[in-house]
Amino acid sequence: MVTDADFTVNVPLGPLALRDADTVIVPAAVEDHGPQQQGRLRPLAEAALAEEPATARLASSCTGSTTEGC
């Protein structure tokens, strides 16, 4: 997956690999800095995160490269 933060996230196993995840890291994206519409994730993100176990840690990354916040 290419990000807008000048680095690539390699996801060789796809979203089903989240079923076995201990930690899930969600990268920041410039287009997502605004308020989410109706409090919903995009369908692909929602489907992927639905695969993570309830015991998994969820973290987000932010490069801090914008003044809009993370």
3-state SS assignment for residue 58: strand
Instruction: Say whether pTM exceeds 0.75.
Output: no
Q: pLDDT confidence of 66, banded at 50, 70, 90?
A: low
E strands, the chain, are: 23-27, 57-61
Residue 5 makes CB contacts below 8 A (sequence gap 6+) with 27, 28, 29, 63, 65
* Residue-wise pLDDT tens digits, 21-40: 999 887 766 565 555 566 66
